[in-house]
Homo-oligomer: A and B are copies of this chain.
Amino acid sequence: MSVGRETRLSAWIERFAAHFAEEGIPLIGGRILGYLLVCQPVERTAAELSQELEASSGSISTNLKYLVNVGLVSKRTRRGRQAAEYRINEKAWTDFIQRKLNAIASVQTLTDDGMRLLSGDPERSMRLKTVDHLYGWLSEELPALWERRPASPK
């Protein structure tokens, strides 16, 4: 006997959240993200999320605030509705990933500063030079690659 689609989806959401938990996003934040990516209808209130994800209203509030802040989720308020509606902002994933790539490339400024401190001492700067070269290359190539990213499909 096979499990239902919704059951498998909630297992998927849990995997999704677990992945981003490793990257430092709180578990509940990851669950919200995963859930908002696949729920129907696309918009949910904080109270609904609290119920669906079995998380306290406080946690939902904190994490929604964070997610709205980084842009991954949009908040919409409507006249005549006291409850705000939240939905995934799938466009914001590009910025989200770009920040990650930038974080890697940014080490170059660090190695660069180190090289400057060791200038005039080629013996001693050999180790750093290897690392600096690699990051120097990355800080050229990653932004260039990013420029070539495809437009999202309609």
Q: Would you call B107 and A19 a contact (CB within 8 A)? A: yes
- What residues of chain A have their CB less than 8 Å away from a CB belonging to chain B? 5, 8-9, 12, 15-16, 19, 23-24, 36-38, 40, 42, 88, 90-91, 93-94, 97, 100-101, 103-104, 106-107, 110, 113-114, 117-118, 123-125, 127-131, 133-134, 137-138, 141-142, 145, 148-150, 152-153
Q: A38-B128, A150-B133, A152-B133 are in contact. Are A104 and B110 (CB under 8 A)?
A: no
Question: How many identical chains are in the complex?
Answer: 2
- Report chain B residues within 8 Å CB of A101: 104
Q: Would you call A117 and B16 a contact (CB within 8 A)? A: no
- Report chain B residues within 8 Å CB of A40: 123-124
- Report chain B residues within 8 Å CB of A124: 38, 40
Which of the listed residues A37, A103, A128, A133 has the most CB atoms from chain B within 10 Å of its own CB? A37
- Report chain B residues within 8 Å CB of A133: 150, 152-153
Q: Would you call B8 and A131 a contact (CB within 8 A)? A: no
- 23 A-B contact pairs sorted by A residue (CB < 8 Å): A8-B117, A12-B110, A12-B117, A15-B110, A15-B113, A16-B110, A16-B114, A19-B107, A37-B114, A37-B127, A38-B114, A38-B118, A38-B125, A90-B127, A90-B130, A94-B134, A97-B138, A133-B150, A133-B152, A133-B153, A134-B149, A137-B149, A142-B145
